[in-house]
Structure 1
Amino acid sequence: MIRHLSTALLALSLGACGSMDSMNPIDWLSSEESVVQPAELVELPQSLALRTLWSTSVGAGADDKRIKLVPFVHGGRVYAADGEGEVRAFDSTSGRVIWSRETGLEIAGGPGVGEGLVLLGTSNAELVALEAESGQERWRARVSSEILAVPTIARGVAVAYTIDGKLYGFDAASGERKWVYDRETPVLTLHGSSSPVISGQLVICGFASGRLAAVELDSGALVWDVAVTAPRGRSELERMVDIDRDPLVVNGIVFVTTYQGEMAAVSEETGTVLWRRELSAYAGMGRDNRQLFVSDAEDHLWAIDPRNGSALWRNKKLEGRRITGPAVVGNHVVVGDFEGYLHLLSSEDGRMEGRIRIGDSPMSTPPIVANGVIYAYGRGGELAAITLP
């Protein structure tokens, strides 16, 4: 597993104690011999002609910061932010800027959108709420550390998860803190966070310890807590089992992946593990009505049977290209890569069917699909809306 760690080590954190962002990860591993070379792109004989509906720029994007900026599509708008505080709302059909606001914030996670608010997490330990209609600031609240996860909101409660392992609930109208749920963070973790998911009356979140927990949305009281995978090995590096991407909740089942560990299906009601399979992943998951799709730590794309965790197919042709988590559009799966390409694959058998480049900078967050349109965001600030034939 360690030979593939170089991608993940683009950013690491030492729990709440400090950051290794300035350290070259390959130097840190010192004798890293077998870094996987990116697969070369080959011409696709009968590729689907993907088309750019519109493209624009969102300030400086994420730049070289290891932060979690993901476009949010809601109510005919695309909300996006950059790491230097620029927040914009675009018309989802035309790409026209509806409003733009320079907040002056060091945005590290977001935006999350709902109930008339745009939520932003910052590197300076703040959760900030803007008006979704105008971009004007509504409130801001202090938390314990950097927010590297996308905040979320439902039923009058705004939820944020901090990199030191704390899950917060705030009153969405006033920004007043309602509750906090705290878990111990391991010494060594990936520099990233799973974003909390609200499902009914539960907030479900994955933690750097490899545990998945559900708390009550209104009170923060623990409902259940389960180990998805247990740390193994002698060194802190070998024992890293972060849940670094968002849980996926489907029909009462929570699907989750861990780094250097397992993929699992967990009962939303009881926290009982229904099945596990060995699979290391930190990029994310997608699904259609029959299959789960997972980008693993080796940049292989898998189709998984949600009933039992068995593999339906695996595509290795993007190995080493640092692919994003997958999204589903029609009968296709789409992922981004480190050279700014979007790759379209058949959901039936994983064969490559199309490709388009949105820019020169890497994509590190999964594409977003809404109403049959793919919205992709590059780390250099490129934002594009892509359609299929």
Structure 2
Amino acid sequence: MQVLRSALLLGVLGLSACSSTSNIPDPSPLPVVQATAKAKTLWSAAIGNDTIYRFQPAFSAQYVAVVGGGSELALLNRSNGAVKWKQVLAQSIAGGVGIGADIVAVGSLKGDVVALEQSSGKVLWSVKTTSEIIASPVIDSGLVIVRSADGKVSAFSASSGELKWIYQRQQPSLQLRNYAPPVVSGGVVYVGQAAGRLSALALNDGRVLWEAPIALPRGASELERVTDIVASPVVYADMVCAVAFQGRIACISTQNGSLVWTREASSWAGLAIDEQRVYVTDAKGHIQAFERNTGRSVWKQEVLAYRFVSAPAVLGNQVVVGDLDGYLHYLDPESGSLVGQQATDGSRIYLAPKSVGSEAMAQTRKGSLYLLGAQ
């Protein structure tokens, strides 16, 4: 099973160098863009070194927390990128970073959850989970919520590390490695599962509020029947949307888990959502937009095919994605046309730029950070 799992990761998700993976088409050439919007970089910084893990910065009102590879963690001033503190942990960080409740939290390959004091970087507590942690912890309402590789979701007290609740459902024998953290909104924890199910859990006690099938396994072989949700769901108003690999995109009522609409799509990169549209990067690197309320297809942009395009992020009046060569591409949300392009350090941008309001933060594989401003 482990051999199959590794082959699937390398061949489909492209975690190894794309030039050495013979069953993946060559990336499309870098498009030439007649820019109508100038990229706006507020500041840039370099933290850490080359890594195979998918790290994404975490925002608070004042700070940006970032993992730089290996066991290095840093807290930066959001306004100018100045380093407040750096810390090298005893554990090898694999699960990204979360920030909130005056702490910073990370997860390790050995299943450690480590919480540090936000003001000083001092380690406050460390607890063990049952499996490696490769998804970023989420901090909300005094809880640190962690998803481990065995599918368990655990909630710990942000102040003490005490286990408050744990959720687990049976996992299929073959599944993709899942870097997607849960999403918390309105007192509900939304978790994308293996085998294409979306779970809604009560934040305070972890009880299941509802579960909904996003995709159903199909195909003759076990490999063809993998329909895991390996990107975080997105929430807007009374709707939560998720997408499955080799499955479909579906939007669900947050109230009762009933299906609002669904469309065929396969994605491991993920989604973004705004008032009007849902955006998705599919498994071929095509970026699509659907009308949020109805699922009607609005546009499809194919010029970045097989460039290992990240999930989209909404930044002001643009949609932005990263690619395998560290380029940021800006799209018009109305038409999908490319309106801007920005080079970084030449290394891959695994995850969507983390957007908060009129700003977004992109992190490259080499640990370079770019704070982007809305145009």
> Shared topology, TM-score over 0.5?
yes
**TM-score (normalised: structure 2):** 0.92
Per-residue Cα deviation, 1:302-345 (whole angstroms, up to 9, x for no partner): 11111121210010010011110111112111000000100011
Spell out, residue by residue over 1:82-136, the C-alpha distance to the aligned partner (whole angstroms, 9 max, x if none). 2311111112221111111111321111211111111111111111111122211
Partner of residue 308, structure 1? 294
TM score, norm. by length of structure 1: 0.89
2:283 corresponding residue in structure 1:
297
Q: CA deviation at 1:26?
A: 4.1
Equivalent of 1:57 in 43, 46, 49: 46
Amino acid at match of 1:78: V
Provide the aligned C-alpha RMSD in A: 2.1
1:90 aligns with 2:76: yes
Partner amino acid, structure 1, of 2:64: V
Contact 2:31–2:303 (CA under 8 A) maintained in structure 1? no
Instruction: Please list every run of 5 or more consecutive structure 1 residues that lacks an aligned counterpart in the other structure.
Output: 12-20
Aligned-residue offset at 1:369: 2.5
After TM superposition, list the pairs within 5 Å mapping 1:319-334 onto structure 2: 319-334=305-320
Deviations 1:182-233 (A, max 9, x none): 1122222222233111222321101112111112222222221222111111
Amino acid at match of 2:31: V
Are 2:364 and 1:375 equivalent residues in the alignment? no
Asked if structure 2 preserves the Cα contact closer than 8 Å seen for 1:109 and 1:148, the reply is yes
Among candidates 229, 239, 251, match of residue 243 of structure 1? 229
1:8 matched residue in structure 2: 12
1:208 paired residue number: 194
Shift of 1:6: 6.3
Provide the residue aligned with 1:276 in structure 2. Answer: 262
Aligned length: 367
How far the C-alpha of 1:146 sits from its partner, in A, is 0.8
Kindly indicate whether the alpha-carbon contact (under 8 Å) linking 2:34 and 2:340 is maintained by their aligned counterparts in 1.
no
Equivalent residues of 1:59, 1:381 under 8 A apart: yes
1:200 and 1:49 map into 2 onto residues whose CA distance is: 36
1:1-389 to 2 correspondence within 5 Å?
Answer: 8-11=12-15, 26=21, 32=23, 35-61=24-50, 63=51, 65=52, 67-387=53-373
How far apart, in 1, do the equivalents of 2:361 and 2:202 lie? 32
Separation of aligned partners in 2, 1:110 and 1:6: 21
Q: Helix, strand or coil for the counterpart of 1:56?
A: strand
**Letter of the 2:157 counterpart:** D
Supply the AA of the counterpart residue of 2:29: E
- Compute the displacement of 1:156 (Å): 1.8
Q: C-alpha separation between the residues in 2 aligned to 1:317 and 1:130?
A: 43
Look up the equivalent residue of 2:339 and give its one-letter code.
Answer: E
Contact 1:374 1:386 survives alignment (8 Å): yes
Deviations 1:15-36 (A, max 9, x none): xxxxxx89x9947xxxx3xx32
CA drift at 1:9 = 3.5
Alpha-carbon distance in 2 for matches of 1:306, 1:59 = 38
In structure 2, what is the Cα distance between the partners aligned to 1:5 and 1:157? 31
- State the shift of 1:387 in Å: 3.5
* 8 A Cα contact 2:95 2:179, kept in partner: no
| 2:3 matched residue in structure 1 | none
Structure 2 distance, partners of 1:253, 1:116, is: 30
Q: Deviations over 1:146-202 (max 9, x none)?
A: 111111122222211111111111122110112211112222222223311122232
Q: Distance in 2 between matches of 1:334 and 1:122?
A: 29
Q: Secondary structure at the match of 1:82?
A: strand
Letter in 2 for 1:91: N
